[in-house]
Amino acid sequence: MSESENISPVNSATDRLMRWILLTGDRFQVTAAITGLLLAIFLLFGFAGFISLSVSERAVWFLNGTINGLLTLIPIAVGLNQIVLSQELDSLDDLYDRTKGTFDVHRQIGDTTNVSVSSPQASEFFLQLSNTIHDRAVELETAGENVTDEQLQEEISDYTKTLTEQTDDISADLEDLGFELIDTLIVLLDYHDSWQLHTARRLDATYENELSETATEALDELEDLFLELDAARDYLKTLWVQRELAELSRMMLYTGLPAVIVAGLGIFIAPEISGLTIARPIIVVLLSATIAVSLVPLSVLLAYVVRIALIAQRTAAFGPFIPEDEQQRISGQVMTESQKLDE
């Protein structure tokens, strides 16, 4: 299964599980799931006799290496905080200009969507954009009905049909969301505005003489809306990544200290276990739990970084160029929607 398939609309249980792990799942729950999987693996191999967890020398060797790795988490956490702070620390003039520029763009998008004051809630803000795109698509469809060129009329009909269907789906998903930035960002990942912008520009350039004034204005407004949507989505991603990195650095520190303590206790206690009359299954459970807990910071890092990297890859696909995997994903979704309509 490719990563592009993991973030497309899914139906099977496996796809839903992968989507939950990679995108929609709470990172605390994903971390717990990864840690539980590690614990299950060590228990399974320990009870099966494939690895000798009851041999104290091997456990001490592993825990010693784990502590050395955990100590490197401190500079990683500090580096993550530096990345976040580098975007926040600046002179008063620069901070003012940046904030003013953000609100100017916010106001400009509000003018485009005919909203006097745009919502500060991300889901409602993008819902307004989606509804405006839908309205312009309907205007273009109405104007296209009066076109004499049959090929142009068919292209406009297909284009506006795709626009209205996708905006209806996006709007339906956005209506149920709250203030969580990641929920809104995940919904926007499945919106193909790059392809829609390219099609609008192609129609405007190819059929410039055949298009009516109303159709031309609708296409121009759609182009502006797609550019504003892309810019707003990138800004939303920037805000989310900053918050996610800050949370990741805190979680690595919060889990790093207990993991070092547990691993250190394991190093001192493991050599004494062989002299105690403890059943082997109990030793396997204790050492497996010690190893799993010592690897919790690694589970945290994996849970957060995978989602950040995946969203960064997907949002990088929006723009003047459409990568091959993005085109394949778009084609797959179009085929799925066509099959639903045929049914």
Q: Tens-of-pLDDT digits for all 343 residues of the chain?
A: 344 444 444 557 888 888 888 988 899 999 999 999 999 998 998 888 777 765 667 778 888 888 888 888 777 777 777 777 776 666 777 767 777 777 777 777 777 777 777 777 888 889 988 999 999 899 888 888 777 778 888 888 888 898 898 889 888 888 888 888 889 998 888 787 778 888 888 888 888 788 888 888 888 888 888 888 888 888 888 889 888 988 998 898 899 889 999 988 888 887 776 666 677 788 888 888 998 999 999 999 999 999 998 888 877 656 566 666 655 555 555 444 444 444 4
- Residue 343: inside a domain: no
Same domain, 62 and 43: yes
Same domain, 214 and 313: no
**In degrees, to the nearest 5, what angle opens at C-alpha 290 toward C-alphas 287 and 293?**
150
Q: Are 153 and 147 in contact (CB under 8 A)?
A: yes
Query: CB count, 10 Å around CB of 164?
Result: 16
Give the Å distances, CA to CA, from 292 to 42, 45, 60, 256, 299: 8, 14, 14, 13, 9
Token couple for 310: 């995946």
- Residue 332: inside a domain: no
Same domain, 272 and 233: no
Phi/psi of residue 55, nearest 5 degrees = -85, 110
Give the range of the structural domain holding residue 309, as residue numbers without chain letter.
Answer: 3-86+248-318
- Residue 326: inside a domain: no
Q: Which of 62, 106, 94 is nearest to 235 (CA)?
A: 106
Q: Are 126 and 174 in contact (CB under 8 A)?
A: yes
Token couple for 56: 């104290």
- Residue 341: inside a domain: no
Same domain, 216 and 288: no
Token couple for 293: 């807990």
Give the Å distances, CA to CA, from 49 to 55, 83, 204, 272, 309: 12, 45, 70, 21, 37
Cα–Cα dist 64/155, whole Å: 66
Same domain, 141 and 191: yes
Same domain, 226 and 192: yes
Same domain, 193 and 227: yes
pLDDT at 88: 67
> In angstroms, how far apart are the furthest CA atoms of the chain?
93
pLDDT at 322: 62
- Residue 329: inside a domain: no
**In degrees, to the nearest 5, what angle opens at C-alpha 301 toward C-alphas 295 and 302?**
90
Same domain, 101 and 237: yes
Same domain, 78 and 136: no
Query: CB count, 10 Å around CB of 116?
Result: 7
How many angstroms from the chain centroid is the CA of residue 182? Answer: 7
- Residue 107: inside a domain: yes
- Residue 78: inside a domain: yes
pLDDT at 147: 75
pTM: 0.80
Number of domains in the chain: 2
Element (H, E) at 11: none
Give the Å distances, CA to CA, from 278 to 273, 284, 290: 8, 10, 16
Same domain, 77 and 147: no
- Residue 26: inside a domain: yes
Strand, helix or coil for residue 180: coil
pLDDT at 50: 75
CATH number of the domain at 170, please.
Answer: 1.20.140
Same domain, 237 and 97: yes
The residue out of 241, 266, 300 marking a domain boundary is 241
Q: Which of 22, 72, 340 is nearest to 182 (CA)?
A: 22
Query: CB count, 10 Å around CB of 174?
Result: 23
| DSSP, res 24 | I
Same domain, 237 and 121: yes
